[in-house]
Each structure stands twice: as structure tokens, then as C-alpha cells.
Chain A
Amino acid sequence: MGLVCRVAEERGIATVCVSTGRDLTEQVKPPRSVFVNHPMGNNFGPADDPEMQLRIMRDAFQLIETATSGGVLVDLPYTWPTGFEYFSGKRRA
């Protein structure tokens, strides 16, 4: 995904990546990323929480306008209400 963003950016399209894997994103270095410390697949928050979904989208779009150098990674302040682990095939209870 980060690679696709890099290809897009080189061809004149602004991108922003909403990442839940901070170390993965740091390595690939997409042009712009926000990191959300949520489980993978909950990039925009829990189900049925449109306000949170919108907030994270607005934060991401804001970075389109403010970033001045490629590879910027911004940590968003949102937290997940419970602990979570690397997903190895089991669903959350």
C-alpha cells in the first residue's frame, strides 16, 4: 500500500495513508501517513461510530494540506478502549 502511494505521488496525486502498523509504515515510508493505534481493520475506529470515523478522515486530509516533506508520519491521539494483540487468526471475543 505504501508503495502504491509512492507511485501515485510521483505521478501527481497527493496521498495519505491511515496506518495501524507504525513500524511497517516507518519502514516503507509512504509520502504522508497518520498512525492510529487501533487494531488493524479498525483504522477509522469502532463500528457505528461515524463521528470518530470522520475525525480520523479529517485529520488525514489535514496532513495533505500541511505536509511539507515526504515521509511524514503523524501520531493521532486516539486510543483503543481495550488492549489488543497481533492478530494471528483468532477473532476478538
Chain B
Amino acid sequence: MKPNDPRDIHPLVKTEGGLLRDMLASAETDHAREEQLEGLHSRLAPLFTTALPIAAAGGVKAATKLAIVKAAAKSVLSIKVAIGVAAIGAASGGAYYVVAHRAPAIAPVVVPSAPRVQTTAPPLPTATTPAPTIDDSAPAPSAKKPPTTKVPVDAAAEFDLVQRGGDALLQRHAGDALSLANEHARRFPGGAHAEDRERIAIEALVDLGRTDEAKTRARRFFARYPSSAYRPRIESLVPGAR
């Protein structure tokens, strides 16, 4: 990580003495250590040899819906890879600066420009091993589906673009993030996630060192979204744009 990289200076609520900055930055200690993940892996080992349940009726319906999304939007949903973590904060009406700690990618990055393959379809059973012996008493998730599961195809495709752009940004693939944001701007200029898209584009431009463009786009952003939740973050990344 480059020292004094503008991407590492993130907005954060700055209270007297920078205590809140320290508090949020301390979340960096929440990363699992390799041995902890391996310990958990061992505990879950019985499940790794047990086939995932095949999608029931609902899952089949969902898979059909996905096919429609793919065909109509020409956009394939993708599983996202490991998430970089940054200690970030912001609040209305304050000064915000913090050193963020973007974690290195833990898993290989899916290159957004490459054809994406839906990898989440439940696989066929591969084993008939006995039921796992670990405790299976965990609470079941509610049947409630997130609101976006019923959105039109275009909305799903739009959401997918924004998520891919956001993940590319987290992985510090600024060029990919900018391409995805620009693709979103072309296809969904007034889309529901235009604010997210602009934030991604601005941060990507900063990452790429295209400061003037970032500033221009940030000014437009502030004019259009004066009370955006992203405003403090963008103000700290693009000083002088407000």
C-alpha cells in the first residue's frame, strides 16, 4: 500500500481527540487470523463431504428467474470475492478524516470485464455421506425475501452492475470499477442506484489519479445529491470539490 495514498485517507467522524477515528480504525482487529479460519474449517469439515441440498420449488423458480435476467439484461450475476475492509465513517456536519485499512484481497478477483459465470446454482449431489455430527440447532433464517427479489429484470441488472462496481473498487481494480460505473451510466442514466454509481466512479477516478475528472464529477455529485451519505467520504477524497 502506497504511503499517503489518497485512497487511504477516508472520512470519519472526527471528534475531539480523534477518539471516534481510533474507535472505527480499531475494527481492523476484527479480521480472522488464518489459524482461526482453519479451525473453523475443521469444525465444518463433515459438511464439506455432504452435498448441498438441491433447490426446492422456490429455488427452481428463482433459477428460472435468473435465466430471464441473464437473457434480458445480458448481464450475469456473479458471486463476489473476498471483501476488502476499510474503516470508514462519516456523519453529517463534521470534519471527517481517517486512515482506512483496506485489506488485501483474500481470494482472487473476478475480472469484471471477463464473461461472468453464475456459480451459485445448487450443484448436484456428489456424496451420500451420513449427516454431519456437528450441532445443527442454529436458528433458521426467516422465509422473508429481500425486496429486490421481486424487482423487474432491468432493476436486477442495474443492481448487479453497481455491486460489481463496488466490489471492483474494494479490490482496488479502479479501471474495472470505472468501466462498470460508466456502463451503468450509459444503460441506466437515471437509475435507482445512480448515486452509488457516481460514488464508485469518483473514487475510481481518484484511484486512477485522474484528479481533475474526479473533481468535476464530484461537483456534479454534490449539486445533485447535496445531502448524500457519501458526501463526507467524497469531500475527503476530492478536496476542493465542494
* B is a partner of A: no
